Amino acid sequence: MNILKNKKILLGVSSGIAIYKAVDLSSKLRKLDVDLNIVLTEDAKKMVSPTVFSAVGNCPVYTDYFNEVKDGWIPHTQLSAESDALIIAPATANIIAKIANGFADDLLSLIALAFREKSKIIVPTMNTRMYNSPALQRNLELLKKDGWIIVEPEVGHLACGEIGKGRYPDNEIILEFLEDSLTKKTLIGKKVIITAGPTVEPIDPVRNITNKSSGKMGYELARAFSYSGAEVTLISGPANINIPYTIKNFVKVNTALEMKNEVMKYFNDSDIIVMSAAVSDYRVENYSNIKIKKDKDNLIIKLKKNPDILKEIGKIKKDKQLLIGFAAETNDLINYAKRKLIEKNCDLIVANDVSKKEIGFNSDFNEVYIIDKMGDVTHVEKASKREIAFNIVSYISNNYYSR
């Protein structure tokens, strides 16, 4: 789901050695089909030509206030009024001080002063001693009070040769902040547990039993719920996926028993429980504390059934809680999913056919069927897992929490 498509985004660029990364940000915004405008400060214009930004962003670039005023069109009032979001990246200590204290002596600071009640994001980028100075930190606090979203800089090697906090963050993180700020908050106050990824059952210290789940669907659901305003606890088995920045409570587990214990910790206080993890059905009964040598032609491993976490919490869930299970099947999808919904006492089951390679494990795409207690089936057509996740959250918001 492209949250940003057709949104009017205003990118403000101040001078700083990280300005080249703002060129990349404008490129990424263009590819997301936003309606983009760019404003450069005078110093930024000296570092990178407006022509470069215009070509990469395929958009107008504004620099000088006096040259832009024509035919009754006043740039700072028009651009601030028409835009859905303002991002300033990179933001120098100078532009931060201006905005925090109400100075407006160039086009970008004029726009910032006039920008109200909408998404305002600022990305401080500078030398670590400048960033940690009391004056800069005081100004950032003022910006927060005025409704600005601060994207914290990263720690690392800086252009000046020092090491510390001040590096321009990855543009994907800035885009996450932007997407989050522009998503309708339909689930504010709701606490959500999401399980994701596979579980791993050890055979010995170097071998284990697991499955093909990548965790992508669960992580995208965590993103979608958190963007919608919910307080999300993501409990994940091993997964090679970046945790969405909006997830404040991330719990890493390995085995099914560990996952069960963590789910139970948060269960009573949760409004919505989404069991999207592919939990191992069995664990090894005769685990070896030392590596098993391959000195035999045959090795017998005894397996013991793991607890059915979904079924157990289905027995104790409260009426106010919404329990959502997942059914990954290879045949007779809808019938198996309906049976699982009843047996596990779920409110909803999300079913998908993992026999299809293009939507199966590790794929970036999915196609699902949402089945409720009445047996009604809603088909969500093949799309990216991010879009599927937002469709699932939209379904839940509209059918269970709309006012």
Q: What positions carry a catalytic annotation?
A: 160
Single-letter code of the amino acid located at 298 = N
Cα separation, 5 vs 22, whole angstroms? 19
DSSP states along 143-211:
HHHTTPEE-PPEEEE-TTS-EEEEEPPPHHHHHHHHHHHTS----TT-EEEEEESB--EEEETTEEE--
For strands 365-372 and 377-384, give the pairing: antiparallel
One-letter identity of residue 40: L
Contacts made by residues 265-270, CB under 8 angstroms, sequence distance 24+:
266/191, 266/193, 266/233, 266/235, 267/193, 267/313, 267/316, 269/191, 270/191, 270/192, 270/193, 270/233, 270/321
* Phi/psi at 242 (5° precision): -70, 135
CA-to-CA dists, residue 83 to 10, 39, 68, 76, 366, angstroms: 6, 12, 17, 11, 33
Q: Which residues contact 159 (CB under 8 A, 6 or more apart)?
A: 17, 18
Residue 68 to residues 39, 74, 254: CA-CA distances in angstroms?
11, 8, 59
Q: Dihedral through CA 124, CA 24, CA 32, CA 173, nearest 10?
A: -40
Q: Which helix or strand (DSSP H or E) is residue 44 part of?
A: helix 42-47
Sign of the CA dihedral with 339 first, then 344, 346, and 351 last: negative
